Amino acid sequence: GDSVTQMEGPVTLSEEAFLTINCTYTATGYPSLFWYVQYPGEGLQLLLKATKADDKGSNKGFEATYRKETTSFHLEKGSVQVSDSAVYFCALSGGNQAGTALIFGKGTTLSVSS
Amino acid sequence: GAGVSQSPSNKVTEKGKDVELRCDPISGHTALYWYRQSLGQGLEFLIYFQGNSAPDKSGLPSDRFSAERTGGSVSTLTIQRTQQEDSAVYLCASSRRGDTQYFGPGTRLTVL
């Protein structure tokens, strides 16, 4: 079945460091890809998404490009801030048809220190 | 409404008791999803509603779990005869048909 694999955490960085969180997927068809973020004590928030190959999703300085050839959707940010400390989840859904459940990776905890 | 709301935010119950968790989706969102977040299993899909019907119940872990949705809006997830392994955060999400899912803050369930 479909699955998502993301790098194990925790990831610990200093402020202004470059961030990469790796995510690869296995899916039939042409899934949509997502990054969700969960700040301490809060619910899941959509960070960015991409719905087809070579699309780049971006938000709040974060970017991820849908790479069909490598089945990847790595999350990057050029300069992290303390406020970026959170758990990041990579996810896919099987397509734009209604009712497709999200399949999540196990989450990567990011801790940024000043 | 402004976002997906869930109640209660926390629920502590004794093993063997029944619990009901409530979800209010974003107004106009016809699709509603329940997920469970636990330390051991990560984020798991439980059930999906389109309107009041549930075409996909494949994620419900046992027959102790059930859910309903009325008026195409509010949904209730019921867990009967709770077990300690049911302890988790239960998340609800809603979307327009085929669109991005937006999540509520979750209900933290603790079974003693």
List, for residues B79-90, the tens digit of each pLDDT value. 999 999 999 999
The end-to-end CA distance of chain B, in Å, is 34
Strand partners, B33: B48, B93
Q: What is the pLDDT of residue A113?
A: 96
Nearest CA in chain A to B41: A106
Q: How are strands ordered across the β-sheet holding A75-77? A: A19-21, A75-77, A62-65, A56-59
**How far apart are the CA of A15 and the nearest CA of chain B, in angstroms?**
28
What is the pLDDT confidence band of residue B96, given thresholds at 50, 70 and 90?
A: confident
CA–CA–CA angle A103, A104, A110 (5° rounding): 165
Considering only CB atoms, which residues of chain B are within 8 Å of chain A?
30-31, 33, 35, 42-43, 45, 48, 50, 55-56, 59, 91, 93, 95, 97-98, 100-106
State the amino acid at position B70 in one-letter form. T
Alpha carbon distance B86, B78 (integer Å): 12
Task: Please list every residue in chain A whose beta carbon sits closer than 8 Å to the beta carbon of residue B102.
Answer: 46
pLDDT tens digits for A63-108?
999 999 999 999 999 999 999 999 999 999 875 454 578 999 999 9
Cβ neighbours of B30 in A, within 8 Å: 98
A43 vs B50: CB contact, 8 Å cut-off?
Answer: no
